[in-house]
Structure 1
Amino acid sequence: MTDDLSDAYENGAYIANAAAYPEEWARAARLYRAQLTEQGLARLDLPYGDGARAQLDLFLPSGTPKGLVVFVHGGYWKAFDRKTWSDLAEGARARGWAVAMPSYDLCPDVRIAEITRQVARAMEAASAEVAGPIRLVGHSAGGHLVARVAVPGVLPDEVAARVVGVLPISPLSDLRPLMQTAMNEVLRIDPAEATSESPVLLPRPSAKVTVWVGAEERPAFLDQAKWMSTAWNCQLTISPEHHHFNVIEPLSEPCSAVVETLLGLA
């Protein structure tokens, strides 16, 4: 009998006050969008394709951008959108970078392979708005997506050539274990897609990669981070005192270790 790994990939049940996080994320993001809009530094709801979710938000620094950071949100490919995380742009934006945050269609309406293609299109559209080097960062399923689109052959050559750094945070780097979870009724991962969409089974990008994960995350997420670090022979940083829900919070802080790492990748 195949083991059920549903509990291994359950985060909320193991985080204190987990239910309070989504409301606080949305509140902080809403205030941030209002602030940046008032300052004339937010370009919201930019389309990158067809459909209501094929949009991105772009947050701009005060002067000419040093380049572009693209943040891709998580939610197991089946929850959330860009508007839950807007304030996480502030760390890089305050350091002079433009930050793009795309939404994408969710499972079960689409398969993960289609989400990969959507995120690649979003990055192509964002790259046309901002010149200079590109750095990719994503959390959980978003960590999977930034790694996946950085694999050679996914992005157009002219965009891929500008990608200098990739920071997958708590990434789902190997999709095969997720076939043994109850959520796969929604995700619909099959062996072929698990093989084609798992970064650990694919060539590493030419850009510099650092994998980031919280020290207090579930063992399965620590394993997923280690697997990517090993498969791609790249740096692994285990961030003390962080779990799956708060590991991304320091992205909003210009001098945080995670922002220093993101902007130092080259």
Structure 2
Amino acid sequence: MSAAEAARRTLRYGQHPDQHVEVTSPVGSPRGTVVLIHGGYWRRPFTAELMQPLVPMFTADGWVVANVEYRRGSEGWAATAADLTASLAAARTAGEASRLAIIGHSVGGQLALLGSSEGDAVVALAPVTDLVRGSRERIGDGAVEEFFGESTDSIVAASPVAHVPPGGEVLVVHGRDDARVPIEHTRDYVEAARSAGARVDFTEVPQLSHLHAIVPAASHWPYVRTWLEKRRG
């Protein structure tokens, strides 16, 4: 545990082993809570450990960090959607301050955008925004079909582009050379969200691979941290 971290604890929001939030608190009085939501195209091998390297950076900035795990894989979309709501409610209780920022990567970005009304600010990193298009283009080696099967209604319901405008203030970051989630999907999502009246900031990073988006040393993080700092009160 680093000097910036005062305590780490687990909040459970259900009986399933994946229904938990790892909460790490900074030294001193926090001014808000950052929720981290991992990606992995809804596949079970990918866990909240993907986001763990970001935790020390945010506790050093004075945030309580709530790193979310959720049901995925064979559990299906209904379970994942329910866990999104429940985990964000649990994260609200994790910090002394009321401000809640949600940061999601890839499918975690999808979840962050869908849960945006529960937060005060959202950062979506290389988010999956259009599952209908993603199914047609077989993004993630056919991940949409693998997870949703032939449930067209669920695919539409799980698409952030079908739920514009998002709630709160939103920052989207995407690398132009991302080979896992096409940046064209994000560009179209941002245009749709803005047309619907949303306040969405969008940063295209010339060289940022999909997984490098969650590397703390990557070039976009100083901007993201400043953007969040202005919104935590």
**Same fold (TM > 0.5):** yes
- Deviation of 1:56 after TM superposition, in Å, equals 1.0
| 2:18 is aligned with 1:50 | no
Structure 2: runs of 5 or more not aligned: 195-199
Pairs aligned (count)? 220
| 2:41 is aligned with 1:70 | no
Partners of 1:92 and 1:254 within 8 A in 2:
no
Distance 1:253 1:183, change over 3 A: closer
Please show how residues 1-266 of structure 1 align to structure 2 within 5 Å.
Answer: 35-36=1-2, 40-43=6-9, 45-79=10-44, 80-111=46-77, 113-130=78-95, 131-151=97-117, 160=118, 163-180=119-136, 181=138, 182-189=142-149, 190-218=151-179, 220-233=181-194, 234-250=200-216, 256-265=222-231
RMSD: 2.5
The Cα offsets for residues 126-172 of structure 1, whole Å up to 9 and x where unpaired, read as 11121321111100000000001125xxxxxxxx3xx2211111000
Equivalents in 2 of 1:213, 1:55: separation in Å?
28
Distance 1:139 1:38, change over 3 A: closer
- Deviation of 1:37 after TM superposition, in Å, equals 10
Equivalents in 2 of 1:89, 1:135: separation in Å?
14
Partners of 2:25 and 2:64 within 8 A in 1:
yes
| Percent identity of equivalent pairs | 24
Equivalents in 2 of 1:255, 1:145: separation in Å?
20
Q: Which amino acid aligns with 1:174?
A: D
Equivalents in 2 of 1:220, 1:214: separation in Å?
9
- Deviation of 1:194 after TM superposition, in Å, equals 1.8
Equivalents in 1 of 2:217, 2:121: separation in Å?
15
Q: Which residue number corresponds to residue 197 of structure 2? A: none
Moved over 6 A (4+): 251-255
Structure 1: runs of 5 or more not aligned: 1-34, 152-159
- Deviation of 1:191 after TM superposition, in Å, equals 1.6
Equivalents in 1 of 2:4, 2:162: separation in Å?
45
Distance 1:211 1:128, change over 3 A: same
Distance 1:236 1:219, change over 3 A: farther
- Deviation of 1:227 after TM superposition, in Å, equals 2.0
State the TM-score, normalized to the length of structure 1: 0.75
- Deviation of 1:41 after TM superposition, in Å, equals 2.2
Equivalents in 1 of 2:213, 2:39: separation in Å?
12
Q: Which amino acid aligns with 1:52?
A: P
Equivalents in 2 of 1:125, 1:56: separation in Å?
8
Partners of 1:71 and 1:99 within 8 A in 2:
yes
- Deviation of 1:265 after TM superposition, in Å, equals 4.3
Q: Secondary structure at the match of 2:15?
A: coil
Equivalents in 2 of 1:261, 1:121: separation in Å?
26
Q: Secondary structure at the match of 1:122?
A: helix
Equivalents in 1 of 2:220, 2:203: separation in Å?
18
Q: Which amino acid aligns with 1:172?
A: V
The Cα offsets for residues 24-46 of structure 1, whole Å up to 9 and x where unpaired, read as xxxxxxxxxxx259964211x32
Distance 1:255 1:232, change over 3 A: closer
State the TM-score, normalized to the length of structure 2: 0.84
Q: Secondary structure at the match of 2:185?
A: helix
- Deviation of 1:262 after TM superposition, in Å, equals 3.2
